[in-house]
Amino acid sequence: MSALRTPLLLILAVCIAAFAIDTSPVRAGTEIVTDDSTAIAKPSRRTFVLTDGWGRTISDDDLIGHYLLVYFGYTFCPDVCPTSMITIAEVLDKLGDDASRIVPLFISVDPKRDTPKHLREYTSMFDERIIGLTGKKEFIDAAVDAYNVRYEIVEADPNDPDNYTIDHSSSVAFVAPDGRIITRFGHGLTTDEIVRRIKKTFVADPLQN
């Protein structure tokens, strides 16, 4: 267990959760949109170690024991990512005290441009409880595999290698404390419906009540 794990778990405990598995995606602009799913599955156990906005490391093992809301995106995303962050922030507010049972994560698929500091500034614009994570591409890919999402870099300007967009899964995964993916909240689902489903899960969870 790392020396940072105990304080990290305390920090994680004050945040929010949710996410699920992807079905066959279809492209919509610069996003990969997936249908909402209620299938329960356990993510593959490819170990990943990522870095939060304060430079602290968080591994997949650190996340066990918490409900999670997991979203994969990037800060230069022009539309869907900001909308999704607003949705997560509103869900946290509507959950009230139950929000403390969830850790909300924004995992960047753009480590080249999304530094820890930049991620922290981005997520804090929406809600201080949302934890931005970035890291080496190999670890980001491991997290992508673990939560069964997809992303693809789209080269926009051959004369400017830093000018590109990224197609990526646009749903939010709701993850159980044991790592099971409970469901996926599709982009566009109302915050009231997301809150209803989360609260229903909490009521039905005898180990967490």
Q: Residue 135: inside a domain, yes or no?
A: yes
In the chain, the number of structural domains is 1
What is residue 200's predicted lDDT score, i.e. its pLDDT? 95
Residue 57 sits in a domain of what CATH number?
A: 3.40.30.10
Q: Residue 5: inside a domain, yes or no?
A: no
- Selected residue with higher pLDDT from 161 and 73: 73
Q: Residue 23: inside a domain, yes or no?
A: no
Is a pLDDT exceeding 70 seen at residue 169? yes
Q: Residue 139: inside a domain, yes or no?
A: yes
- Selected residue with higher pLDDT from 206 and 93: 93
**Model confidence over 47-72: pLDDT tens digits?**
899 999 999 999 999 999 999 999 99
Q: Residue 176: inside a domain, yes or no?
A: yes
**CA–CA dist 63, 85 (Å, integer):** 20
Q: Residue 109: inside a domain, yes or no?
A: yes
What is residue 157's predicted lDDT score, i.e. its pLDDT? 78
What DSSP string describes 69-127? Answer: EEEEE-TT-SSHHHHHHHHHHHHHHHHGGGGGGEEEEEEES-TTT--HHHHHHHHHTT-
Q: What is the pTM of this model?
A: 0.78
Is a pLDDT exceeding 80 seen at residue 15? no
What is residue 45's predicted lDDT score, i.e. its pLDDT? 54
Q: Residue 69: inside a domain, yes or no?
A: yes
CB 132 within 8 A of CB 36: no
175: domain range?
A: 29-204
